[in-house]
Amino acid sequence: MTSIQHPVLLEELRRITGPAHVLCDGDLSAYTQDWRKRAQGKALAVVRPASVEEVAAIVKACAAAGVSLVPQGGNTGLAVGSVPDESGTQVVLSLQRMNAVRAMDAANLTITVEAGCILQSLQEAAEKAGFLFPLSLAAEGSCTIGGNLATNAGGTQVLRYGNARDLCLGLEVVTAQGEIWHGLSGLRKDNTGYDLRDLFVGSEGTLGIITAATLKLYPQPAARLTAWAAVPSMEAAVTLLGLAHRHLGAGLTGFEVMGQFALSLVDKHFAQLRVPLFKEAPWCVLLENSDHESETHAREQFERLLETALEDGCVSDAVVAENLAQAHQLWHIRESIPLAQAEEGLNIKHDISIAVSRIPEFVEATDALLRQHIAGVRLVNFGHLGDGNLHYNVQAPEGGDAQAFLRDREEEVNTLVYDSVARFDGSISAEHGVGSLKTDKLATYKSLVALSMMRAIKAGLDPQNLMNPGRIVRL
Ligand code: FAD
């Protein structure tokens, strides 16, 4: 690309969206720095279209100029995939202004929304109509459904409702050539060849731009009850999960595990949250029971489950939230772990998945390995145990220089953890995606056959390599 093309392209972008929506000057850090502040990029421009036609025109203009695009929703992603690189030659395409609810079909149990719709607004629109949109994660106040689909986000309800992919029935996409694929089907059955929708879900902006989606709705449960249990070991937590599946069936909508050190950080930095039971137990579990009959029924089910678990010995103590406020407080504790960790200092994050049955063995082996290599290492382990997904994070030794720890030991720590994940046939990215943080790791831990098919898909759909280049796979 020659510099002379910049003014021509910028003029064209201004013509498409109106000059107010092409940002080139001033503080653009909200668009160019990632949520964890691990990367600070530079954009040629940030462009904010208002319609699918504008997105298509922008993509065509950038393709003609040979300029690459970084699609962006709420910029809450944790894999450094939503911000431009440092070259100053990429255009950030923000979907923020495309946030309308286009349609709701009560009989078909579907809602159609634009990609920039904030997840919480979508949940609220569903609730207002008497339905549940179950995708739920701590960033829901600012992440967008387009970003959720592009990263195939998980969150706390995957156990019952699946991840973003499972909730999506149709997509509208602008391809790398600037064509519009009208795939907003609300069909639950459609076996007419390759599943293009599933190709774009989880593609992190590398294949095209998601501009709208048709999503599944569910009936609101009559009651949602939350319990908090102290468990003597990770093995006991897995036993409790099995009991919970048997006792609660489809009512089991949440099963989160939290290590004692993770909870001690919440206690240290947010003492007002009053973390229950963690001092007596190495692990605590948060369970959620969503019942379609009544609160009384949900409570009886929970009591039977916890009695059995206490008798079995897989639970040493437990509390059931008395009301909604207490339930929110328990969830708030769980969701405060990443913030408490950030308060404690920089840390090395891993978002991994292992078959649930092998998690106790994995944790024991990997903890031992890290302690053997790094004296005083502190392990902040928590996550969605019901989905086999752990946030297996590593904090510098107490009183150590966290910045130096990251600089000097991150690569070694990552290799120890990811090699262990590979030995247990797990995944190095359960729900946060690959972004640019893990592109090199993917090249190590994914099979050559899988990588070659992924490159073929990328080359086929984006031969100019202009859609979020350098993320997931390099051509
Ligand atoms: P962005 O960050 O803007 O983008 C993420 C990726 O998607 C980028 O590669 C971007 O290019 C691409 N993209 C964005 N929009 C589009 C589009 N319309 N078309 C094509 N590509 C697009 N994730 C979980 O899975 N589970 C959790 O429990 C969870 N908890 C979190 C808690 C916190 C506090 C935070 C900050 C993040 C958490 N996340 C979690 C990370 C999660 O991936 C994001 O929050 C969310 O899914 C990304 O949405 P976004 O709109 O912010 O996307």
Choosing from 36, 48, 72, 204 the residue with most ligand 1 atoms within 8 A of its CB, the one to mutate for a pocket test is 72
DSSP of 118-140, one letter per residue? BHHHHHHHHHHTTEE---B-TTT
Give me the pLDDT at residue 280, please: 82
> Any bridge partners for residue 33, and if so which?
40
The helix or strand, by DSSP H or E, that contains position 395, with its residue range, turns out to be: strand 389-395
* CB of 72 closer than 6 angstroms to any ligand 1 atom: yes
Amino acid at 203: S
Nearest C-alpha neighbor of 153 from the set 339, 387, 473: 387
Give me the pLDDT at residue 3, please: 41
In the reported structure, the alpha carbon of residue 377 is separated from the centroid of ligand 1 by a whole-number distance in angstroms of 29
Task: Give phi and psi for 64, each to the nearest 5.
Answer: -65, -35
* CB of 110 closer than 6 angstroms to any ligand 1 atom: no
Give me the pLDDT at residue 279, please: 86
In the reported structure, the alpha carbon of residue 151 is separated from the centroid of ligand 1 by a whole-number distance in angstroms of 6
The token duo for 1 is: 């690309």
Rounded Cα distance between 218 and 424, Å, is 35
The answer to whether 149 touches 247, Cβ cutoff 8 Å, is no
* CB of 432 closer than 6 angstroms to any ligand 1 atom: yes
Q: 324-335 and 337-344 helices cross at what angle (nearest 10)?
A: 40
Residue ranges in 384-438 assigned as alpha helix (H): 402-423
The single residue listed with the structure tokens 């960790």 is 341
Whole-complex ipTM: 0.99
Where the chain has pLDDT below 50, the residues are 1-4
* CB of 146 closer than 6 angstroms to any ligand 1 atom: yes
* CB of 395 closer than 6 angstroms to any ligand 1 atom: no
Measured from the Cα of 210, ligand 1's closest atom is: 19
| Domain extent listing, the chain | 5-94, 101-219, 223-338, 345-423, 434-463
Rounded Cα distance between 442 and 79, Å, is 13
- The region, left, alpha or beta by phi > 0 then psi within -120 to 50, assigned to residue 456 is alpha
* CB of 78 closer than 6 angstroms to any ligand 1 atom: yes
Fold of the domain built from segment(s) 5-94:
3.30.43
Closest residue by Cα to atom 46, ligand 1, is 148
Measured from the Cα of 433, ligand 1's closest atom is: 43
In the reported structure, the alpha carbon of residue 150 is separated from the centroid of ligand 1 by a whole-number distance in angstroms of 7
List, for residues 392-420, the tens digit of each pLDDT value.
Answer: 999 999 988 989 999 999 999 999 999 99
* CB of 253 closer than 6 angstroms to any ligand 1 atom: no
Task: Give phi and psi for 259, each to the nearest 5.
Answer: -75, 160
Fold of the domain built from segment(s) 223-338:
Alpha-Beta Plaits (3.30.70)
Measured from the Cα of 164, ligand 1's closest atom is: 25
State whether residue 275 is helix, strand or coil: coil
* CB of 114 closer than 6 angstroms to any ligand 1 atom: no
Choosing from 78, 91, 210, 431 the residue with most ligand 1 atoms within 8 A of its CB, the one to mutate for a pocket test is 78
The domain made up of 101-219 is a member of CATH 3.30.70.360: no
Nearest C-alpha neighbor of 203 from the set 258, 249, 150: 150
Nearest C-alpha neighbor of 268 from the set 362, 344, 193: 344
The two domains 223-338 and 345-423 share their CATH topology (first three levels equal): yes
* CB of 98 closer than 6 angstroms to any ligand 1 atom: no
Measured from the Cα of 339, ligand 1's closest atom is: 34
Closest residue by Cα to atom 35, ligand 1, is 139
Give me the pLDDT at residue 4, please: 45
Amino acid at 436: S
Give me the pLDDT at residue 50, please: 98
Fold of the domain built from segment(s) 345-423:
Alpha-Beta Plaits (3.30.70)
The answer to whether 148 touches 132, Cβ cutoff 8 Å, is no
* CB of 144 closer than 6 angstroms to any ligand 1 atom: yes
Rounded Cα distance between 415 and 360, Å, is 20
List, for residues 160-191, the tens digit of each pLDDT value.
Answer: 999 999 999 999 999 999 999 999 989 999 99
pTM: 0.95
Give me the pLDDT at residue 1, please: 40
Rounded Cα distance between 88 and 40, Å, is 11
Q: How many CB atoms lie within 10 A of CB 153?
A: 28
